[in-house]
């Protein structure tokens, strides 16, 4: 059976499980039904393994979950995934990933009586950091269907993309320059995290911070302790929009 016909059959079985008929309904408003990833951010060393969970949360009973995940394969790669969870026990498209494309796709559902409601982990994804830099992980084209016998889709709000910054701990151990009268810089105690002065703290400021970290430019000393360190990066990440 082709992938298209398999998916159509899968959707038909779940949509008609309650009433035996296939109907069309208007799109309802979101009733606290969301799909998102956690953790939402992190700073990780090069070569580190880390885990990202795809979370489903719904008050309304639901039974079908579909989405695709994209990531920068030059910075991170997937090492394995876990999808045998209590939420989904039937997969029209088993989760599969391509590190070459930086993608992961899945279409799953539950056959449990009454559908799924509450909060739980749909997928667990294990990544490895491969290069220094910052990367977003995006959950896109997501859809969740109600367990109402009609396969009614629920309107979902766009989730916030997790952002991870990968650093090389060895290169960050830079010897502080000797302070002399010729190289003293005086900064305001509450130094702004807006390094490029465009009015907002963004990924561009994170990129500039990485350069300042290597040179120990105290323009990036946000906490005023006299050294540019991971503490300052934490302050910057908290202010990124």
The SS3 call for residue 62 is strand
Structure tokens belonging to residue 49 = 């393994």
Architecture of domain 174-239: Orthogonal Bundle (1.10)
DSSP secondary structure letters along 85-121:
-SS--EEEEEEEEETTTTEEEEEEE--STT-EEEEEE
pLDDT one-digit tens code per residue, 35-92: 999 998 899 999 999 999 999 999 999 999 999 999 999 999 999 999 877 788 888 7
How large is the average pLDDT for residues 216-235? Answer: 77
Q: Return d(Cα 108, Cα 64) in angstroms, integer.
A: 6
Q: Is the pLDDT of residue 180 over 80?
A: no
Structure tokens belonging to residue 14 = 């779940």
Question: Can you give the pTM of this predicted structure?
Answer: 0.60
Residue 1 pLDDT: 47
In whole angstroms, how large is the CA radius of gyration of the chain?
23
pLDDT one-digit tens code per residue, 147-167: 988 889 998 877 889 999 999
Q: Return d(Cα 187, Cα 181) in angstroms, integer.
A: 15
Residue 38 pLDDT: 94
pLDDT band at 215 (very low <50, low <70, confident <90, very high): confident
Distance between first and last Cα of the chain: 46
User: Which CATH number does the domain 3-165 belong to among 2.40.40.20, 2.60.40.680, 3.20.20.10, 2.60.120.560?
Assistant: 2.60.40.680
Indicate the domain borders of the chain: 3-165, 174-239
Q: State CA 110 to chain mean position distance.
A: 24
Please name the helix (run of DSSP H) or strand (run of DSSP E) that holds residue 51, with its range, or none. Answer: strand 49-70
Q: Which residues of 228-238 are buried (b: 16+ CB within 10 A; e: fewer)?
A: bbeebbebbbe
């Amino acid at each position: 059976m082709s992938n298209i016909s398999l998916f159509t059959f899968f959707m038909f079985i779940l949509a008609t499980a309650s009433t035996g008929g296939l109907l069309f309904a208007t799109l309802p408003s979101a009733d606290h039904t969301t799909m998102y990833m956690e953790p939402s951010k992190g700073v990780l060393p090069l070569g580190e393994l880390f885990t990202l969970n795809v979370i489903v949360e719904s008050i309304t009973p639901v039974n079908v979950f579909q989405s695709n995940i994209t990531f920068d394969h030059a910075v991170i790669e997937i090492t394995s995934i876990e999808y045998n969870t209590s939420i989904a026990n039937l997969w029209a498209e088993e989760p599969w990933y391509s590190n070459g494309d930086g993608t992961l796709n899945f279409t799953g559902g539950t056959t449990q009586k009454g559908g799924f409601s509450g909060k739980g982990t749909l997928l667990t994804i294990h990544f490895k950091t491969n290069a220094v830099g910052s990367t977003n992980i995006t959950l896109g084209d997501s859809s969740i269907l109600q367990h109402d016998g009609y396969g009614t889709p629920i309107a979902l709000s766009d989730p916030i993309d997790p952002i991870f910054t990968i650093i090389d701990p060895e290169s960050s151990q830079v010897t502080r320059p000797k302070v002399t009268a010729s190289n003293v810089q005086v900064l305001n105690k509450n130094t702004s995290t807006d390094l490029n002065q465009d009015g907002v703290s963004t990924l561009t400021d994170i990129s500039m911070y990485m350069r300042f970290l290597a040179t120990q430019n105290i323009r990036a000393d946000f906490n005023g302790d006299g050294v540019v360190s991971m503490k300052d990066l934490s302050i910057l990440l908290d202010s990124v929009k």
